[in-house]
Structure 1
């Protein structure tokens, strides 16, 4: 910030006469009526991150996933204003390597539910299928991608050390269709990003 200061000097020079006068430029008035208006403006950019040691960091090992499951990963925001969370799925479902014969599958679909809690009690929440969270997916999802000012699930209020935020992964029990093949290697990884929002 640069300050521009205007200095005004008024000098009265005494002559040989006993009376002394001071002259002012037109519109100046007397020195006691001079008003300097110095506007000062500032802005503070939004800061946003996960609270220390409270980022969504978990490993969920689900036995018998075809019977249905639900797992939560809690996190805490430290955002001074609106924020956004975005998610990308590496596999678009729980996927095992190999080839499945006709009538069988090596991919288990599941849902991803993101909930963000603000300090003032506001909540933002949305659910997408994992298959819609891959970078190549054309299926709609409100929080797919990398968080930015305009991408991701938006929480419109500040959230500072507020509990209640989570990422939930879940799937119902297998109910027909292609049969999941037996494997201990069904995997997926969710990449979660957080940023300040407009």
Structure 2
């Protein structure tokens, strides 16, 4: 376990200098491919979306599917708010806090009642979706772009579920909880960048 913790720390350290948050507004945003790649361009999104899948796996049925379905649906709603320019305060803070909270929930092996887990995931999904929608360039095909980022998000959730299934193996719970620690630390780093 100590070797895994050291490996995790080295991996996190190597990733930190190259973190590229997905909220730069850069890119052509021309359609599906841009929308698909946008969540992958920022580790803040990747961390939270993988964490949703891991948390679902940790909680078991029906959360393993309900949480990853809830996130993209509510994220699309947040995206509409962003496209329309509806003021939502603290977007970047909400995105950073999503990794911290979800990571801590994974570390602790938290299994809240499903309605509470859905509410937490949905609240964070609004922030992530808003960021995507607010950065949608005027020239982009909004429908194709949205389809791209929703599908990409779903695949990140599936990756989280697959990783979370390690809990079924010997010592798997420790590995998954360590990943939760990395996600929470990354969220702390993202939050520091918001205030930097």
Which band: TM-score by shorter chain?
A: under 0.3
Normalised TM-score (structure 1): 0.23
Of Structure 1 and Structure 2, which has the larger fraction of its residues in helix?
A: 2
* Structure possessing the higher radius of gyration over alpha carbons: 1
Of Structure 1 and Structure 2, which has the larger fraction of its residues in strand?
A: 1
